[in-house]
Chains A and B, each alone.
Chain A
Amino acid sequence: MRWLLIVWMLWAGPALAVQPDEILSDPRLEERARDLSRGLRCLVCRNENIDDSNAELARDLRLLVRERLVAGDTNDEVLAFVVSRYGEYVLLNPTKGGSNMILYYAGPGMLLLALLIGGLYLRTRAKAAPRGSERLSADEAERLKQIMGE
């Protein structure tokens, strides 16, 4: 159902993402501009970065990023400038501050927790005394035989 995202994207205009006339003559600056614009959200699109977007607004943002880079800003300064104008909604990679700590640590935290629980479970299984029920019980074996058609 990905087409939903496209529907909107194409409504915004037929132009295709980065246009030849936008590209900076300095390849190193252009490279940085591309990297930055992959992390910036096209505000009128659905979950799309400005590098891929066809919207007019995305083009304006791409030009803005390039303008700042040409003016000598560092990458962080460019991002800070864009955020000051459009809010943190524009960042596709959210900042690590404040409540976003939850976002960043939930995954690793969950992994540690799962490893702990899994480790404890494995220990109980390794220590459990082998029981008579290791093998299938008679009626279980019979049922299995029926299912297997043997």
Chain B
Amino acid sequence: MVAELGHFTLILGFLVSLMVMIIPLVGAYQRWPGWMRFADVGSNALFLLTATAFGALTYAFVMSDFSLKLVWLNSHTAKPMLYKITGVWGNHEGSMLLWVLILTLFGAMAAWFGTGLPPTLKARILAVQAAITAAFMAFVLFTSNPFLRLDPAPLNGKDLNPLLQDPGLAFHPPFLYLGYVGLSMAFSFAVGALIEGRVDAAWGRWVRPWTLAAWICLTIGIGLGSWWAYYELGWGGFWFWDPVENASFMPWLLAVALLHSAIVVEKRESLKSWTVLLAIIAFSFSLLGAFITRSGIITSVHAFATDPERGVFLLLIMGVFTGGGLVLYAARASVMEAKGVFGMVSRESALVMNNILLAVAAFIVFIGTMWPLFSEMFFDRKLSVGAPWFNAAFTPIMVLLGVILPLGAMLPWKRGLLARVGGQLRLALMLALAVGALFWATQTGRSALGPVGLFLGAWLIAGSFTDLVSRTRKGEVLSRLRRLPRADWGKAVAHAGLGVTMAGIAGMMAWKQEDIRVLKAGEQFDIAGYTIVLNGVNQVQGPNYLSTMGDVSLLKDGRDIATLHPEKRVYPVAGMPTTEAAIDIGFFRDVYVVVGDAQDDGGWAFRSYYKPLANWIWGGAILMALGGALSLSDRRYRVAAGARNAATTQQPVAAE
């Protein structure tokens, strides 16, 4: 019954989305306020209807209603409650419903917070958002319906994929979708403004918080996924350049570019045409990501939902929105005349450089991801493009970006002098060079990766600090720092976060150590100055799995510093094993141990790793997201609060 209610509200939502897509557009064209206002009501209704449908599906999962095919396929009564709930989006159909829910959530939020927008622009934005919603609701209803019933209902389910029964991964998809789908707001703003025929500084200011919110979520989502891969996969890899990962990374890179170019639009009324194009492309890459993930076209061995029908449908959605956006852009690009004038050396030109590097980086990821497909289609060559290629092609761009970032971040608007900025950053540069040189001197290996990465990390962190301090005066540094706008803090924290991540990646890749051996209970060995003792291996029963659990002591200089419990689990219902690495987490290093198979002689295959700076990778991601959040909370972006004030301050104006 509840499932039918969900099914019904979803169908109703689809019909409402068609209305919200058309009525406000006509209203904006004819200047009929009632028709335009329908966008607000409609967007709220859409969100409520979709939320009801999503709630109904969640209810079915929580109640273990196995008469729903989706629940039967992805749940089990013995599963912990948390994973019953996260199981809702741990599958294709449910995750698409979540996608639609987030689309309507953003639409409704634009209706709530967008009270300061011109009514015609707001109506158009909400209509475009509803058009995207309609397309994805049709996709869910016609190709991926989560509400299909089974008759007779099975007694118990087939259990959620055990790998998804993990806190890190449980919340990875929602954040990722908030990011992907959040970029739809940037798209709707761009298309709305193109229909409106007006892109100005105010538009830059309006679009930026949405992009920022989407980017923060995308950062958290990617970070969670990477962290999960690190501790779950059993060898401590954190990034694999897998097509599915790249699908999330390309929108991330473009969102970073968009965040920065929107600043130029806002402050200097330049780069407008490019920013609008970027907003369209960024969302197109989100759609491309959905297509790559769900059509299985690139990784045909297996995929989430290898279904040609779904693939074609998604390709169609992508074609219509990307194509439509680009055609509209081509027709209207002439209305976006640049206004600001600036020199070759200026904040503006540095931000142009930022956009060039990030767009080229996204392009490199794109060509590497798609090349196996292109190559097979056009040259009849079946080949692979893997991590070695991506590392070689992508790293130089990031190094370049890291080198120029602190300089660009401190250049003044309009016209600047490199020598002056260089002078301000002299201390930061010397510090960074010293850090790089120190590690160059102490390392025994041959790779320049570690020292270069640490140089960049130190350069970015010290550069961000210099940037903050340069805004203060001698003698009152601290009080001034406290009073700096949150956006300035956000900028410094996010840029420093990038430095932390760069240092982490370089340090971990350059100096990790590995040990693989057979170990019997009571035996010990040394790795990177630590002693690892295997005390024993036990069989343990979990709620819905069986575990082979190692009992390991970690010693440093003969002192016991940690007890670790690496596990190998078997989930009998799903018939799948997983490895659970045990990690002693430290600020400067992780010690990572994994227990493998039992050997014939009574020992266990045992792998251990020393991973320097591992946590800096995700620490940096957290800092980046935090920087974004600080910037988002800056008072000039609190459009919502500002709008409410505007309504009150507007009254005397109206009374005049």
Contact = CB atoms under 8 A, between A and B. Distances in A.
B297 to A, nearest CB: 13
Given A10-B578, A18-B516, A146-B646, A47 B241 contact: yes
B164 A15 contact: no
A92 B245 contact: no
B-side interface size class = 35 or more
Contacts, number: 217
B479 interface: no
Interface stretch (B34-42, B335-343, B470-478): B335-343
B158 interface: no
B596 A46 contact: no
B360 A90 contact: no
Contacts of A23: 516
A85 interface: no
A76 interface: no
A144 B205 CA distance: 10
A39 to B, nearest CB: 5
Interface stretch (B8-16, B44-52, B100-108, B344-352): B344-352
Interface centre among B245, B302, B386, B597, by most chain A C-beta atoms within 10 angstroms, is: B386
A10 to B, nearest CB: 6
Contacts of B237: 52
B364 interface: yes
A140 B576 contact: no
B605 A20 contact: yes
B597 A87 contact: no
A98 B379 contact: yes
B339 A17 contact: no
B163 interface: yes
Contacts of B338: 125, 128
Interface string A123-149: 101101111011010001001101111
A80 interface: no
A16 B594 contact: yes
Contacts of A92: 384-389
Nearest to B239: A2
A46 B518 CA distance: 28
Contacts of A70: none
Contacts of B301: 8, 44-46
B116 interface: yes
B642 A7 contact: no
Interface of B: 116, 161, 163-164, 169, 172-173, 176, 200-202, 205, 225, 228-229, 232-235, 237, 240-245, 247-248, 269-270, 293, 299, 301-304, 338-344, 348-349, 352-353, 355-357, 359-360, 363-364, 367-368, 371, 375, 378-379, 381-389, 392-393, 397, 516-518, 568, 576-579, 594, 596-597, 599, 605-607, 636, 639, 641-646, 649-650
The 8 closest A-B pairs by CB, nearest first: A92-B386, A149-B645, A93-B388, A99-B379, A149-B642, A107-B364, A16-B596, A14-B577
Interface of A: 1-8, 10-11, 14-21, 23, 38-39, 41, 44-49, 52, 87-94, 98-100, 103, 106-107, 110-111, 114-115, 118, 121-123, 125-126, 128-131, 133-134, 136, 140, 143-144, 146-150
7 contacts: A5-B240, A17-B235, A39-B388, A90-B384, A94-B383, A94-B385, A110-B363
Given A92-B384, A94-B385, 19 more contacts: A1-B244, A2-B228, A3-B161, A14-B577, A15-B596, A16-B594, A18-B516, A19-B516, A19-B605, A89-B384, A91-B383, A94-B389, A103-B389, A114-B360, A144-B205, A146-B116, A147-B205, A147-B643, A148-B642
